[in-house]
Structure 1
Amino acid sequence: MQFLFIVQMLVIILGPLVKMVLKILGFGFVTYLGFNLIIGQAQDYLFGLMGDVGPVIQGVLGLAKFDVVVNLYFAAISTRFMLAGIDKATDRRRNQVWRKPGGTSIDA
């Protein structure tokens, strides 16, 4: 009898939790694939435009490591979106660091 109660309790607790996790994973997977597709298309477009310029400008862009800069830029965009998504998924808010003196803060 007690075993049945524990099983029912686990089903009641774990059922919605498993559904929520699967929903989040599915949405995250679709978002990840879509985001990678958009970033890849933007990179290909930019590199295609870079190939259309004259040979002298291509040499200058090569010396300036423009392709590395473009990859860093898109990596920074991807990281920013990922961190924003993680903060939203965990529903974390940034805590205020500074508090005015008095109240609950410790006076030095």
Structure 2
Amino acid sequence: MQFLFVVQMLVIVLGPLVKMVLKMIGFGFVTYMGFNLIIGQAQDYLFAQMGNVGPVIQGILGLAKFDVVVNLYFAAISTRFLLAGIDKATDRKRAQVWHKPGGTSIEA
């Protein structure tokens, strides 16, 4: 009888917890796939437009490693969104560095 009570309690406690975790994983997966799709489409569009320019400009862009610059740019955008998402997930806010004069700040 005692064993049945423990099993029922575990089902009651773990059921909603498992459901919440699966929802969070599903939302994260959809967000990740959507973000990757958007970034991939933007990169493909930019590289397609680079192919439409003249051969002289293509040579200059190749020497300047423009494709590497584009990949770095999109990686920076992805990292920024990732860090913003982590801050929101942990509900952490940035500490304000500057305070307006008056009130609680010390005036010189």
Interval containing the TM-score (normalised by the shorter chain): 0.7 to 0.9
For 1:92, the equivalent position in structure 2 comes to 91
Residue 27 of structure 1: how far off its partner (Å): 1.1
What TM-score do you get using the length of structure 1 for normalisation? 0.78
Counterparts of 1:47-86 in structure 2, within 5 Å, are 47-86=47-86
- 1:27 corresponds in structure 2 to 27
Cα drift, residue 96 of structure 1: 3.7
Aligned Cα RMSD in Å?
2.0
What is the match of residue 44 of structure 1? 44
Distance 1:24 1:44, change over 3 A: same
**1:97, CA displacement in angstroms?**
8.8
Unaligned stretches of 5+ in structure 2? 98-108
**Unaligned stretches of 5+ in structure 1?**
99-108
Counterpart of 1:93 in 2: which secondary structure? coil
CA contact (8 A) 2:87 2:93 kept: no
TM-score (norm 2): 0.78
Amino acid of the residue matched to residue 38 of structure 1? I
- How far 1:69 sits from its partner (Å)? 0.6
Distance in 2 (alpha carbons) for counterparts of 1:30 and 1:50? 30
What is aligned with 1:12? 12
Change (3 A) 1:42 1:97: closer
